[in-house]
Amino acid sequence: MADRDPYRLLGGRVGELLLRPWFDRVALRWVAGLYFPLSRAWAAAADVDGRPERFWDGIGGPRSGGQRLLARRALGATAARRRRYEAAEAAFQAVAFGGADGDLAGATEARTRAAHRFMAARGLFLPLHLARRIPPVLAEVATPGEALAAQAARLSGAAPLWPPPEPRPLERSRAFESGGVRTFWLRFRSPVLGDLCQVRVEEPCGRPATGTVVSLHGLGMENEFWRGLADPLAPEVPRGLRVVRPEGPWHGRRRPAGRYGGEPMLGRGPLGVVELFQAWVAEVALLIGHLRAEYAEPLALAGVSMGALTAQLLLCAAAGWPAPLTPDAALLVATSGAPGELAERASLGRALGMPAAVRAAGWDEASLSRIEPLLTPLGEPALPPERIVMLLGAVDELVPFAGGLALARRWRLSEQNLFVRRQGHFAVSLGLLADKAPIGRLLAAMGQG
């Protein structure tokens, strides 16, 4: 399986040359200046339902007849790709969960192929983006008053900050086997958002799993929708590890109409961040409880960026929860102990123009400090320091390094459990595909090493 890894070159000289501080400067320009604007156009186009004015509203209105001509073909092609994706998704769900006859492996491949084509329709809007500047985010920032009202019960103590979720049934799909890996899905209703959460599970076949890792993705990462996205945990599955990958709020199948994956977290400002953490912590806790009931092997939680920020909140919340909701170990990649500072200090937010939008909605230092308890890992985590592993980029400006280092010191992580690389945010995450030492340390903390 490792031989088929498209990122294997990162382990050699190519990786040494690429994954340096300059890589993040280039990647940030590409993400903020191209990928997110094309995603904004794609999201606006994906849900026009035959009414082109919705598309123009979603990107700031037309400016010329020429721009309308540039958009017309892209709109038609995006609509066609969406229809093909929806048909493939429906066929997959019918075979996986609905009891329909059919080849699940084939339905999965057809669905993934159609999803990738649908997502890749972003590129059709490049001529329009070159003709006009498409905004990277649809900013609908909630005001401080709206945010404080929505979270009043949690902030006042009338409701717990992080209540343990009530158990609820999880539905399991059929499975298929390929390359020594058994794949199936779980699904359940989010206890906070109420939408349907879907979780991909991969485990070894022909041998019992020796442990489980719940892997939480970063902002905008939608592995069920793009082909060829490497996962550093994937090679561990045939060797005995079960890997569980939930789709986070507002990502993948959970994408709200007219938005791209994760956009509400950015566009809604501080309240969007709060709501995502509130929902995902509850969902992951529910998932951990289910996995604990199903499997006796050790269970770890791993997260990258947004996933790491979520995981650390769960670790602190779990200190007051029933033991079955607590993982045995954790790996946090590119994280910070001061997420409240990201709105002003993170380079991605600045590149997207979000600090100005947040201030225009009425937020200031005082109002931001009032919601800090909903963002910050407070108190001691449920795990001892030897069970927590952290990987940080020393020149990370998206989730600034100082905040992660301060958290590692506050949690008293040992030198063996704290990995620091002279890399930025994107490079340190990609570097994990080649430098597996942090994963090895996590497995050792689980008792797998």
By CB atoms closer than 10 A (0-12, 13-18, 19+), residue 51 is exposed
Q: Which domains does the chain have, with CATH numbers?
A: 29-131 (no CATH), 144-445 (3.40.50.1820)
What global pTM score does this model have?
0.95
Distance from C-alpha of 216 to C-alpha of 310, rounded to nearest angstrom = 8
| CA separation for the pair 176, 173 (Å, rounded) | 10
Average pLDDT over the chain, rounded to whole?
A: 93
pLDDT tens sequence across 358-388 = 999 999 999 999 999 999 999 999 999 999 9
Specify the pLDDT at position 1: 35
Chain-centroid distance, C-alpha 324? 24
pLDDT tens digits along 182-211: 999 999 999 999 999 999 999 999 899 999
* Per-residue pLDDT tens over the stretch 270-284: 999 999 999 999 999
Degrees to nearest 5, angle at CA 241 with 240 and 243: 145
- Residue 69's CB: how many other CB atoms inside 10 A? 12
